[in-house]
A and B are shown apart, each in its own frame.
Chain A
Amino acid sequence: MNPVIFYTIISLVGIGIIAAIVLYFVSKKFYVQEDSRINAVEQVLPNTNCGGCGQPGCHAFAQAVVKAGDLSSLHCPVGGNDVMKQVAEILGVKAVEKDPYIAVVRCSGSFEYRKKTNVYDGADSCKVAAYLYSGDTGCAYGCLGMGDCVQVCDFEAMYMDEKTGLPVVIEDKCTACNACVKECPKGILELWPKGKKNQRVYIACLNEEKGSTARKECAVACSGCSKCFEACRYDAITMANSLAHIDPEKCKLCMECVDTCDVHNIITANVTPEKIQAANEQRLKREERARKKKEEEKLAAKQQGDEHTEQA
């Protein structure tokens, strides 16, 4: 063998052995004691490092839960209750169940309903457009349609619908990590409880203009007509700035409001048309009863009034 190669191999192997010995002792001497549970917790987490929990990543979340020792304030939205149960087992604490959430798109102003009033030609980003002006349609509250939310989604749970120009959330893939909600400069996306049997109902409009102005800007804008507000039996719908809003905490998913909207902008998910129809019929019946009752009362009051006058 060529002596050069021979000595090279010998010396490199020698250096390797010396380095290995040094590293062995150094690693023993400077070993960092870390709670073994941190590693265990990290193993069960989804390890997507999405930041949906509010921590900078899954390792940081594991550290935080181990340090905190209870699960009341920390929750992994991506893993959901299953993962949190496992985490609770590792820590030996009680699991806290949280209802799963999903992102919903609170704008229905597709190309069809919301006519363009000008052409945007700036950088291809909703954020840039949003600070520049109020948008390329009349509506200053609606979706800008450049898909910053799709870009930021780590789970491929969103896409831009080319026909409508609005983002679509894929229900099975959305993990409610909150990334799109934070990204949207118009606040169109919102985390919404996934609901019983995955059923949800929400109003897909954020336009706070007066009704007539809003409708001019977008054919399906909420005009603040209050029909849904009046139909709701559970005080789940509130009216503010000529805009109706459903409070998901109070909503009992009775679906009676859905058909009151004259522009059909109360959006439901996983609800059969039959259920909506049934709910609507029930509402109409109830309203009819209320009307009759009112009429009877009126009549009674009138009769009473007549009696009074006769007596007088």
Chain B
Amino acid sequence: MSTQNKLKTFNIGGVHPDDHKISARIPITTLPLPKTVIIPVAQHIGTPATIVVQRGDSVKVGQVLAKHQGFVSSNIHSSVSGRVGIIEEVMDSSGFKHTAISIKVKGDDWEETIDRSDNLVEDISLEGKEIVTRIMEAGVVGMGGAAFPSHVKLSVPEGKHVDYLLINGVECEPYLTSDHRIMLEKPREIIVGIKILMKALGVKNAIIGIEDNKRDAVENFSDLLQHETGIEVQPLEVQYPQGGEKQLIQALLNREVPSGGLPSDVGVIVHNVGTTFAIYEAVQKNKPLVERVVTVTGKSVKQPGNFLVRIGTPVIDVLIAAGGVPEDTGKIVSGGPMMGKAIADLDVPVAKGTSGILLIPKAEALRAEIYNCLHCGKCIEACPMGLEPYHLLLMTKKGNYDKAKHEHIMDCIECGSCSFVCPSNRPILDYIRLGKTEIRKPKKA
């Protein structure tokens, strides 16, 4: 591949925020064990898991704390060994209180069935169905941020034919580098993970999509993939929100997911690189999802870095490892600056979907003054889904949710490009999200 050729990207909308990948060159370090962890039972999209432990129980790392409830749900495992403490409603990164299990850490005692060595296991002994079951049991969810249970994605409904697996190594959110570091440090494992996914789905082709600002990862993969058939790596032009599932499919395969449809409607399944690595560990090493890489970053953070953190570790512990909270911090965001959510309390736990913790200085944290809409159309140009954000804002503000639904508000991927480009600083996405929430609510009789 030559860099002279125009790189692929999606063709509607998109913005170019400064990428600020401060922690890109800092290797992943393991965070010391916290004193207590708080493990919410709803870390994924879907039904919360049902708790199977009681206060006072001794648990090992990898032991199931809560069983999945129904198909679109996920198991929750203990990320530490110790004693189960109080089970109560605590604030999590969603900003609301949800049931969570607290565990007092004692030693680091893992379940015997888990292979903790660093050996690369390449032979895939499990069959397709078994792989999906194993992933389901291991509680693997999408680690890009949405935390959608991975086994659901792998169970393609009958009548749909999937011919491509896309691996999302785009990491288009500014600041975040956790996926980048995994790609650099665990490329062989990711490749085995891809093979596992290909076997489970029965597909022959896989493409790893990586934005061009991570050239080292692209080169790394193309070296490793020289002798592989069916898997290729594709550099992409840097543009936000390329990491959106639908945008990535369009960029790599030029297929468009229909409104309200799923990637499997156009024969594609997308998985994040972090998830692929977790799937490798779940299937080859029998290791459930108990830890993840979290980027801690920000302009004034003393020691930004990428930390391997046990799920349930309070955010404050992770921040201390990164040199504490700088004095000029105005906002602490769980996730990236574009789609992340500010956290209201430093005791909230790191969940399966927490890809980063971003500390924004005071000067940049507050929103600027809001002016009237100029009807300049910049938001329409920026919207990667081809919607009319300013229009959707007006409709939801007036409570006209039916009209907004008719104008495809539900297709919004909440990337925030509209709010990002708005010269009047209008809170466009706030209202679009409100509209989506109101439409999703069951109608009162």
**A interface residues, Cβ below 8 angstroms from B:** 117-118, 121-125, 127-128, 131-134, 136, 140
26 contacts between A and B (CB under 8 A): A117-B345, A118-B344, A118-B345, A121-B331, A121-B365, A121-B366, A122-B367, A122-B427, A124-B370, A125-B431, A127-B434, A128-B427, A128-B430, A128-B431, A128-B433, A128-B434, A131-B434, A131-B437, A132-B433, A133-B94, A133-B344, A134-B91, A134-B96, A134-B97, A140-B96, A140-B97
Contact mask for chain B residues 422-443; partner A; CB cutoff 8 A; 1 contact, 0 none: 0000010011011001000000
Give CA–CA (A132, B340) in the complex, Å: 12
* Residue from the list A123, A125, A128, A133 in contact with B96, Cβ < 8 A: A133
B residues near A117, Cβ cutoff 8 Å: 344-345
Which of A118, A121, A124, A132 has most B Cβ within 10 Å? A132
**B433 cross-chain contacts in A, Cβ below 8 A:** 128, 131-132
Nearest B residue to A137 via CB reads: B344
A132-B95 contact in complex given A118-B344, A123-B430, C-beta closer than 8 Å: yes
Q: Shortest Cβ distance from B319 into chain A, in angstroms?
A: 16
What's the nearest-Cβ distance from chain A to residue B303, in Å?
25
State in angstroms the CA–CA spacing of A182 and B366 once bound together.
31
A-B pairs with the 5 shortest C-beta distances?
A133-B95, A123-B427, A123-B430, A118-B344, A131-B437
Q: Look across to chain A and name the residue whose beta carbon is closest to the beta carbon of B367.
A: A121
A180 to chain B, nearest CB (A): 14
Those of B386-444 within 8 Å (CB) of chain A: 397, 427, 430-431, 433-434, 437
Q: Contacts A117-B345, A121-B366 known; A134 to B431 CB distance under 8 Å?
A: no
Give chain B residues whose Cβ lies under 8 Å from the Cβ of A131: 433-434, 437
Kindly state the separation between the CA atoms of A133 and B433 in the bound complex, as whole angstroms. 13
Q: Which residues of A contact B370 (CB under 8 A)?
A: 124
CA gap between A132 and B91 in the complex, in Å: 13
Please report which residues of chain B, range 30-66, place their CB below 8 angstroms from some CB of chain A when the two chains form the complex.
none
Minimum distance in angstroms from B102 CB to a CB of chain A: 15
Cα A131 to Cα B91 in complex, Å, equals: 15
Most chain A CB neighbours (cut-off 10 Å) among B331, B341, B397, B430: B430
- Distance from B5 Cβ to chain A, minimum over Cβ atoms (Å): 42
Contacts of A132 in B (CB 8 A): 95, 341, 430, 433
List residues of B (330-354) whose CB comes within 8 Å of A's CBs.
331, 341-342, 344-345
Q: Is the CB of A122 within 8 A of B430?
A: yes
Chain B interface, DSSP helix/strand/loop, else mixed: mixed
Q: What are the residues of chain B within 8 A of A140 when measuring CB–CB?
A: 96-97
CB distance from A242 to the nearest CB of B (A): 13
Q: Which residues of B contact A123 (CB under 8 A)?
A: 427, 430-431
In the assembled complex, the Cα of A201 lies from the Cα of B342 at a distance in Å of 39
For the side of the interface on B, what is the size category?
A: 20 to 34
Residues of chain B whose beta carbon lies under 8 Å from any beta carbon of chain A: 91, 94-97, 331, 341-342, 344-345, 365-367, 370, 397, 427, 430-431, 433-434, 437
Give chain B residues whose Cβ lies under 8 Å from the Cβ of A122. Answer: 367, 427, 430
Minimum CB distance partner of A140 in chain B: B97
- Across the interface, which residues of B come within 8 angstroms of A128, CB to CB? 427, 430-431, 433-434
Whole-angstrom distance from the CB of A139 to the nearest CB of chain B? Answer: 11
Complexed CA–CA distance, A134 and B341 (Å):
13
Q: Are A134 and B95 in contact (CB under 8 A)?
A: yes
A118 → B minimal CB distance (Å): 4
Provide the residues of chain B in CB contact with A125, threshold 8 Å: 397, 430-431, 434
Contacting residues, chain A, for B331 (C-beta < 8 A): 121
CB-CB nearest in chain A for B437: A131
Task: Give the Cβ gap from A190 to chain B, nearest Cβ, in Å.
Answer: 16
Q: Which residues of A contact B427 (CB under 8 A)?
A: 122-123, 128
Rounded to whole angstroms, the CA-CA distance of A246 and B282 in the bound complex is 54
Q: Chain B contacts of A118 at CB under 8 A?
A: 342, 344-345
Q: Which residues of B contact A133 (CB under 8 A)?
A: 94-96, 341, 344
In the complex, what distance in Å separates the CA atom of A140 from the CA atom of B96? 8
Contact residues in A for B437 (Cβ distance below 8 Å): 131
Alpha-carbon separation in the docked complex, A128 to B430 (Å): 6
Expressed in whole angstroms, the minimum distance between the Cβ of A65 and any Cβ of chain B is 23
For the complex, give the distance between the alpha carbons of A22 and B366 in Å. 65
Q: What is the minimal beta-carbon distance from A104 to any residue of chain B, in angstroms?
A: 22
Q: Min CB distance, B348 to chain A, in Å?
A: 11
CB distance from A237 to the nearest CB of B (A): 26
B421 to chain A, nearest CB (A): 17
**CB of B58 to closest CB in A, whole Å:** 27
- The distance from the CB of A115 to the nearest CB of chain B, in whole angstroms, is 13
CB distance from B387 to the nearest CB of A (A): 18
Alpha-carbon distance between A196 and B337 when the two chains are bound, in angstroms: 56
Q: Find chain A residues with CB under 8 A from B430 CB.
A: 122-123, 125, 128, 132
**Bound Cα distance from A168 to B366, whole angstroms:** 29
Other A-B contacts than A121-B331, A125-B397, A136-B344, 16 sampled, CB-CB below 8 A, are: A117-B344, A118-B342, A121-B365, A121-B367, A123-B431, A125-B430, A125-B431, A128-B427, A128-B431, A128-B434, A131-B433, A131-B437, A132-B430, A133-B96, A133-B341, A134-B344
Whole-angstrom distance between the alpha carbons of A117 and B344 in the complex?
7
CA distance A264 to B370 in the complex (A): 40
Residue of A nearest to B93 (CB): A133
Minimum Cβ distance to chain B for residue A181 (Å)? 13
Q: Once bound together, how far apart are the Cα atoms of A134 and B96, in whole Å?
A: 5
Docked Cα-Cα span, A128 to B419, in Å, equals 15
* Distance of B225 from chain A, by nearest CB (Å): 42
In the assembled complex, the CB of A129 is this many whole angstroms from the nearest CB of chain B, namely 9
CB nearest to B393 among chain A residues: A123
A98 to B365, CA, bound (A): 52
CB distance from A238 to the nearest CB of B (A): 23
Interface centre among A118, A121, A133, A134 (most CB of B within 10 A): A133
How far apart are the CA atoms of A145 and B358 in the complex, in Å? 28
Q: Closest CB of chain A to B88's CB: distance in Å?
A: 9
How long is the Cα–Cα vector from A230 to B351 in the complex, in angstroms? 44
Residues of A within 8 A of B91 (CB): 134
Min CB–CB distance B188 → chain A (angstroms): 41
Shortest C-beta distance, A187 to chain B (Å), equals 13
Residues of B within 8 A of A136 (CB): 344
Q: How far is the CA of A134 from the CA of B97 in the complex (A)?
A: 8
Contacts of B365 in A (CB 8 A): 121
